Amino acid sequence: MSFPSPAADYLDLKLDLNQELVDNPPATFFVRATRPHPELKVSPDDIIVVDKSISPRKGHLAVCFSDGVFKVQRIDKQDSEYVVWGVVTYIIHKV
Amino acid sequence: MFALVDCNNFYASCERAFNPMLVGKPIVVLSNNDGCVIARSQEAKDLGIPMGAPAHQILQVVKDNKVSVYSSNYALYGDMSARVMTILSQFSHEIEVYSIDEAFISFHGFNLINLEKHGMKLKETVYSNTGIPVSIGIGKTKTLAKLANKIAKRGPGAYSIDTEVKRIQALNDTPIGDIWGIGRQSAKKLNEYGVNSAMQFIQQPDTWVKEKLSIVGLRLKYELQGISALGMMLKEPDKQAIATTRSFPKTISQYDLLAEAVANHAASCAAKVRKQRSCAGSIQVFVHTSRFRPDLPSYANKREVKLPVHTCSSSEFIEYATIALRSIFRPGFEYKKVGVIVSDLVPSNQVIGGLFDTSDRAKAKRAMLAMDGLNSKYGKNKVKIASQGFTKGWQMNQQQLSPCYTTRWQDLLKIV
């Protein structure tokens, strides 16, 4: 017979990164960066977290579609050169 | 009030959600093995590509019109469907998922708000959050909601049959065969009696309707009159039988390959049975040669085997499925399809043990739980029973599969 752990009553569930990184699960998509954008702090292989439920505004970092490809960029002005696919909420970067 | 939310051209819309280049372009999605057309974008419908057309018959129209062709990507469609349904459940507590791309939601107690506007908001939310366009029909009954949905699809995407004038107009405009629940046979029968529109249908006396179409038809009449006779099915009833069947891309004559396919189908049935926390008492295997090759000798057979004790163990399913296959396999035939069907399902906590059962069921159960856990974490069939094999000679043809953008790390959408 061993001693019961004094921490048994205080056990919490393990931390789940989804709780921290995903605010709106059905609208959140993970995408993968392939090119470096030092000015946006994006590196190749980074996982970019996109929440499509956020209305895009000037200054938002966003995944946009233009010239047949998806690009990560800062929304500067509301013009028709690109379509905003979703607003970036986190960049997961391996150091 | 009830609403029916239906995703527009769902499979094509899923492909488009991750590839905006496809917007406005014709898309078709093919069945397992890339056999025939099972989904079309509006543009593909407009080109006259019929539902169910064999892939080899549409090659020319595909080439001439630059139609994008995809293999069915159920991992993607399933995930996108779950996202849409989750969003719908934020608009109402009562939701009945009717199929992969349709759900009823109940708006009881929403009387004070403009439901058509509410429906429009729902439609916009689903579209901006997932990229999937939906149509929403609203009515006093499920059948009227379904009818309103048809009207919504032709118009702005949300339509409510919320007045008597609208209801009567919709019933006058709709042929009875287009009403949800009226099959082709029933429609033909009603037409013979001069009943052509939904309006003419509800003008018939109850006794006449019941005589011609049974109580089911009478319920339908009430529903069209605005009296709710079909409630919400909030929990899907557990399935009574579970099947996994596949056609082979090419025919197979060797027993070993057939046995490997059967082992995989049996394991897949076992995983599905465990998922609904059931155990099966019976397992059936069937085989047949191609129906489209009259030049080859044809053969079809099936064998059902009773399991000694109800079980959900992959290895037991495979063991008995293999026995069944061995008893019906005949050499010298080119097999096109095999399937495994398990039935006599009971909840796993109501299984009666066998008097002469010597196997350690608790241990087997732990092994299966561990296997399911690993497979849900690392991907389907990462851990499997050895007889499921590795040859893959029987596996599906999926030449045009798009990436599983939302369910596999290596398939994530690429950003430049």
B7 CB neighbours in chain A (<8 A) are none
Name the one residue in this structure whose structure tokens are 């032709």.
B154
Domain locations along chain A: 25-92
- Cβ contact B219:B353 at 8 Å: no
Contact B415 A48 (CB under 8 A): yes
**B336 in helix, strand or coil?**
strand
| Mean pLDDT of the B229-246 span | 80
Contact B415 A47 (CB under 8 A): no
ipTM: 0.89
Please name which of B238, B385, B391, B251 lies closest in space to residue B320, comparing C-alpha atoms: B385
- Cβ contact B38:B30 at 8 Å: yes
Q: Which two three-digit tokens encode residue B349?
A: 């906590």
Strand extents, DSSP E, B45-172: 68-71, 95-99, 102-106, 134-139, 158-160
Q: In DSSP terms, which residues pair with B107 in a beta bridge?
A: none
Q: What global pTM score does this model have?
A: 0.78
Q: Which two three-digit tokens encode residue A59?
A: 């200054």
A27 CB neighbours in chain B (<8 A) are 83, 87, 128-130
Q: Which two three-digit tokens encode residue B295?
A: 């030049």
Q: In DSSP terms, which residues pair with B282 in a beta bridge?
A: B306, B343
When mean pLDDT is compared over A50-64, B231-245, B354-368, the highest value belongs to A50-64
| Mean pLDDT of the B284-293 span | 88
Nearest chain B CA: its distance from A2 CA (Å)? 25
The residue from B43, B102, B260, B316 that is catalytic is B102
pLDDT of residue A78: 62
pLDDT digits (tens, 9 = 90+) for B153-188: 988 899 999 999 999 999 999 999 999 989 899 999
| Mean pLDDT of the B223-247 span | 84
Name the one residue in this structure whose structure tokens are 């039935």.
B343
Do strands B134-139 and B158-160 pair parallel, antiparallel, or not at all (unpaired)?
A: parallel
Nearest to A34 among B83, B130, B414 (CB): B414
Nearest chain A CA: its distance from B380 CA (Å)? 20
Nearest to B415 among A24, A53, A63 (CB): A63
pLDDT digits (tens, 9 = 90+) for A34-91: 999 999 999 999 999 999 999 999 999 999 998 889 999 999 876 667 889 999 999 9
- Is residue B102 part of the annotated active site? The answer reads yes
Pairwise CA distance, residues B141 & B230, whole Å: 7
Decide if A92 touches B, using CB distance below 8 A. Answer: no
Q: Is the pLDDT of residue B100 over 80?
A: yes
pLDDT of residue B279: 92
Query: What is the number of other CB atoms lying within 10 angstroms of the CB of residue A55?
Result: 8
| Mean pLDDT of the B266-293 span | 90
Q: How many CA atoms lie within 13 A of B327 on its CB side?
A: 13
Nearest chain A CA: its distance from B226 CA (Å)? 34
Contact B83 A30 (CB under 8 A): no
pLDDT of residue B188: 94
pLDDT of residue B161: 94
| Mean pLDDT of the B104-127 span | 87
Among all residues of chain A, which has the CA nearest to that of B90?
A: A26
The backbone torsions φ and ψ at residue B144, rounded to the nearest 5 degrees and listed phi first, read: -70, -35
Contact A48 B125 (CB under 8 A): no
B128 CB neighbours in chain A (<8 A) are 27, 52-53, 55
Nearest chain A CA: its distance from B391 CA (Å)? 32
| Mean pLDDT of the B83-109 span | 92
- Cβ contact B270:B314 at 8 Å: yes
Q: Is the pLDDT of residue B10 over 80?
A: yes
Q: At what angle do helices B142-154 and B164-173 cross, to 10 degrees?
A: 70
Pairwise CA distance, residues B370 & B372, whole Å: 6
Pairwise CA distance, residues B367 & B385, whole Å: 11
A30 CB neighbours in chain B (<8 A) are 406, 412
pLDDT digits (tens, 9 = 90+) for B371-404: 888 887 777 778 888 888 876 666 667 778 899 9
The dihedral through the CA atoms of B333, B334, B336, B339 has a sign that is positive
pLDDT of residue B149: 96
Nearest to A27 among B20, B21, B130 (CB): B130
Q: Is the pLDDT of residue B5 over 80?
A: yes
Least confident range of A9-23, B63-77, B245-259, B386-400:
B386-400
**B370 in helix, strand or coil?**
helix
B413 versus B250: the higher-pLDDT residue is B413
Buried b (16+ CB within 10 A) or exposed e, B193-202: eebebbbbbb
Among all residues of chain B, which has the CA nearest to that of A36?
A: B416
Which strand (E) or helix (H) includes residue B81? helix B74-89
Q: Is the pLDDT of residue B221 over 70?
A: yes
User: CATH homologous superfamily of domain A25-92?
Assistant: Umud Fragment, subunit A (2.10.109.10)
A72 CB neighbours in chain B (<8 A) are 415
